[in-house]
Structure 1
Amino acid sequence: MQKIERELIFQAQPQGVMEGLFERIGAKIEHLFMKKGFLLVIVGFLLGRALILAKIAPFALPFFAAVFLMRKEKTGQAAIALVLGALSTSIPSAGFTFGSIGAFFIFHLIFSKISKNQLKMLPINVFVASLVTRLTLTYISMHEITYYDVMMSFIEAGLGYILTLIFIQSVPLLSTRRRKQALKNEEIICLIILFASVLTGTIGWSFYNISVEHVLSRYLVLLFAFVGGAAIGSTVGVVTGLILSLANVASLYQMSLLAFSGLLGGLLKDGKKYGVAIGLMIGTLLIGLYGEGTNELMPTIFESCLAMFMFFLTPQSFISRIAKFIPGTDEHAQEQQQYMRKIRDVTAKRVEQFSRLFQALSNSFNYHGLNGHEEDDQQKEIDYFLSNITEKTCQTCFRKSKCWEENFNTTYDYMVEIMHECENQPKKQSSSLQREWNNHCVKAAKVYEEIKQELSFYHANQRLKKQVKESRRLVADQLLGVSQVMEDFAKEIQRERENHQLQEDQIIEALAGMGIELGQIDIYSLKSGNVDIEISIPYCHGTGEAEKVIAPMLSDILGETIVVKKEECAPYPHGYCHVTLGSARAYVVETGVAHAAKGGALISGDCYSTIELGAGKYAIAISDGMGNGERAYLESNETLVLLQKILQSGIEEKVAIKSVNSVLSLRTTDEIFSTLDLAMIDLQDASVKFLKIGSSPSFIKRGEQIKKIEASNLPIGIIKDFEVDVVSEQLKSGDLLIMMSDGVFEGPSHVENYDVWMKRKLKEIQSEDPQAVADIILEEVIRTSGQIQDDMTVIVAKIKHNIPKWAAIPVYPSKKAQ
């Protein structure tokens, strides 16, 4: 049975086994080439063979210096590979390579004493070592040094200086695995130069009249043209062809062939590998006919065919790994997107962890108030209280055993009854209870006295425990509010941008049909009431094309009013203007404010605020600090500042007000309180929530109707725990919302009924302008009272439909975005 199961498993997963086998083989090959440095040995051998004009060898020493700086443990392998490569060309070349490496170590000891910055001194070291070695060997072999020899030695040393800077950038790419970092443009060019230099070491290798360096160079162009497109392909072709032509002047036309083939292959990369191969073949035919003529055309065609054959055999996984490091490729974009998605998920996870932490802290703080054992706790408190009394009175009494052992229940009930009587009637005791207790206890008077004394400590302890319990509940509510905000924030982080390609195409087509050209369009949200679109349009010369034409057309396309949220005009003609469009609010609020300080002073104890929150809500708040003057102003202003910051963070209104109350009540022991009158208006449906904390009533005026809004809550800071009464109302377009401080509502001193007087005055006002209404109310109150007896503030808000400045421009129904 087990044998059959093993066979079934093996047959069901052959592909997984083969994939795992290939992965293990690939990992071993990578370990051999990258970790063990076998790739550096191959590159070193070919660079040791590389020559320019068959005399100059500028590649070996810079490569050795780069390996010495970056991978010092591989220095010996690199040196042996370079010497062997040079020995394969000629003995003098091997002697120069060996001598220059030795001179490098000698000058390294000298320069290390001059400067500790190895990166800065390394190119100079290569330059000096190469120059001294070449001049010394020339003098030994020729017994003289000519100007030509000096010039060629300086050219060789100068090339070594430059190649050292290049190899420092490219050698680390051959010896370490880069997983996330994209290659910079400089690194790409340096890597291409290194590859071309390595190909120079293959010059002279051929079989059946086919040159190896031609095959490998064209394969390199095919590979990079397919990965990076026309720009990278042509760059690889130019650089590779230039370096190969420096090594062999007869191959100068190869630079044109490689550059043209890289350009064509990159342009035809949409045709996959076949398109890139066709580009190489076209370049080979054109440049081959121009450079070699028809007689030598067949070998170069065979070389291109062999390069294409190697290209077709190259695994797609290898090409994809290379593409991940080239900026601008789809693989690189996906890699970056995957990396950003991972960062986003990690961030969201951390935020969720903090949210759960705050929720757990909230549950922990709220546990003691929700366990449902209040009666048991109260009974224990009474037992502790009575134990303190008995310790001071009954402990030394000779009748202790009779009272507490034989008559425990009777004694306990009497003392509890006495305790409750002293709490309820501290100055007058029941004569019957006192008489019964005197008959029962020999120390009745002393027990009475001790109970009265201990009651003050008992009540203080009870108040303290109640305050702690209330503080716990406040902290629990605040932590729960923060937890909810962080949870919503984590969901926002994880919400990816939706794909609106179809809608983008429809909008572009519809606008193009009206003669409007769009440079770019990005749709972030099409949710009703929360549309978010960014576009770029050609320079409009300040005519307001986006506001007057594009937004009205989008309003008809999307079926809701779209307005320009932000516009950045191009700083120069023929540029592009960037416009942000979004949903218009269904309602707008127009406010008017009138205020005066007590006695005409400069500083008022009243503060007010009108802010539009990001969630499509409009907040109107009035805070009245206790008293007048600067201190009351600071108190009311701090209340509004705290409330505004907490509301903008996204915390619910009730929790926000409780948080402000707890901060103000715990902050100081001074009896400084402030009222708060808050109205939260939803700009989408005109609903309003009133949260009144010790404030005066508000009024809604709708034509001739006046409606009073009030709630019974103590001012902020008096008690640490209170329930916020929320009053909800539905406003209509044209309604006036009047909010005022107590200085305005209770301003008329001779008026007996403030409600009736205020309603009558509001009915008499004919103006619909909020500022005019606010000024009239304040003027009437001051004129009626004859003086400014208190700080006065009145805010009038008018609710109106949001009528766009420009009407929607209809387009064909078929063009509308679905």
Structure 2
Amino acid sequence: MGRTEIGLHSYRTVSISSTRDKKNIFNDLISLSNISWPLFFCGVFFGRALIFNELIPFGIAYYAAVRTLMQRKEATIQLIGVMLGLITIINQATISPYLAGLMLLFLVGDGPRNKEKNYHYWLLWIAVSFILIRGPIGYVFYPVPMNWFNTVFETGLALAIYSLLHHLFHSGKAYVLAPTQIQLGLLLIAAVLGINLTVYGISLRYVICCYLVLGAAKIGGVVLASVMAAGLGVISILLNEPISFGTLLIGIGVISGLISRLPGGIVLGGVIATLLIQGVPVQPSNVPYIFIIFLAAGLVYLTPGHLLRQLERVIPGTELYKERQITQANKIRGILERKLNQSANVFDELANTMKTKSKKGKDVLLVEQLSGIADIVRSLSFQMQPQVEFSEEIEGKLIQHINSPDLKELTVIKSYDGYDIYGARNTPCNGKNWCQNVTEISSQLLGSSYQVAANGCITEGECSFRIEPKPEYRLEVKMAKVASEGVSGDSNMVFQLSSGKIALLVSDGMGKGQQAANESTAAVRLLEKLIRVGYPWDVAIRIVNRALLIRSAEEMFATIDLAVVDLQNGLVEFVKIGSAPSFIKRGRDIEIVRNRALPAGILKDVDVEQDRRLLKEGEYLIMITDGILDSQRHIIHKDQWFCRILRRLDPSLDTQELSKELMKICLEKSSENRDDMMILVAKLIRDDGDIISYRRKSSAV
């Protein structure tokens, strides 16, 4: 049995069996397959890092940061790496305090699971290892007061280094790069600190420093290159390198950053900076610096372009970072504009709903209406700010998997059903369906089906796209209705809430004719707009109830029957206010969904209760108005009568045939003084990709 752990280190399975002997455990620790070699060599180089030729804070800080990622047994190899680094640079007496401090950290527990508490837990143990272990043992070998000053200074440095490494390991930006890429980047920094090796007169530390500065110039221009050069310059001075080398790095950063956009600009900038700082003519002692520039620039050009672009997306000040911020701002602006327009439509619909000529005209009625409007406005106020949740983690992973220089921008926003993915290309794909490839990558990465919802190549003349979750099912909806007079008082609407949710709405106005139609239409239109804006259903229905209550001094009301179908799993959520029962036909079995509340517009407050049922593939949802059941006035248990009719009907009928057959049976058995009648039939059908899923912004069926 095993568990899979994911962190900055490579993925691997860690055995949790407690029955093996010590020999097997030791074999696990030294198994080559379990070693993250970049992190191991990071430990070696951090262990070798000396500040002012006598302070060694990096090794303990690095091991503590690793322990925030791994458990004790997993981090053993990193501990060995740090110890090897220590052994290679100083004598046994000097390394003893640090080895003792490392062993203390190795022996302590893994710490709390909470990220914040775990961070402070290792801060405490770092301080203990230096102040209570390194200090006293160091004083035994070198009993001078300066030992304690060095201990305090080293403690501060170690805590700062640990904090930086912890931020790198647990940063929210870490997902943009693959774990191996992050490890290699950390290895470069560790190599700067721990490698002091010269080959044929060329310092490897100098090559790595110049590579980092020139790479920063290529990615972010003069600003990023200058910051990188200044940081490496300070580090080089702490490592006892000549001040002239730190000055050279700053010069290379400034000049190569200024001309980095030119062909070969980073090479030219590095050479110019070297000549300006080292002097002309070139002395034999300065020739290695020229070779270092060419070697470092060559390494920059050999670095994969997609890796540089991934870095550019997350480093502030770079062009891709600015474009990404602009794209997100535009998306927020568009969502805000849409939300405000929808909210404005709600007010327009409220105004239309309240356009009535009250004959009473009393002050009491006016006060009641104004009070009701105030309640509605208070209910509306909370929705004015759109909730936009960008998923930068998914965005970064998608960019890694797409790995294309043609990708101009990519933005991922959390939606009701999963994620909406917006993107664009640098150049048109000329009908090669490049966005379809992105869709396939998205489906594989996110573990569910996605589809191209909009394609700018066709609609806007530019190569952009929007990808959304692809529903597992589609909903086939048909309706039949009969008016007892010229105009039916029953209204309905079918509209799409998201790519995976369809709302079915039916309302029955009190009475018959135009007045009943006005009440039911007002309820349907207002409720549809409120739900589209994003109001919770209970809030939306209370607003509709209040609006109908103050609409007129007359006693008018309307029923509300709402069903929202999830096209991913078939879950149906019902909200019924005074409406007739709904029915689910599962072959010959019939399930009834009953109402428990009074119609809207009767009481000042209305209780909203939700009911959930599961609609399976091939099953029918039947929604009706009161006129269907009231057509059989002599029958007491009308819903059971309707169930018997549904059982007798052929389950292979399509929705149109089923709605017509039901209406025909009800008309044959109804009395002359019948009410308006409506039947809405919906069937859940698996979407095989050949038939377009139900898409409707809003309409009466």
TM class by shorter chain equals 0.3 to 0.5
Per the normalisation by structure 1, the TM-score is 0.39
Greater C-alpha Rg: 1
Q: Which has the higher helix share?
A: 1
Q: Which structure's relative contact order is higher, taking Cα pairs within 8 Å and 6+ residues apart?
A: 2
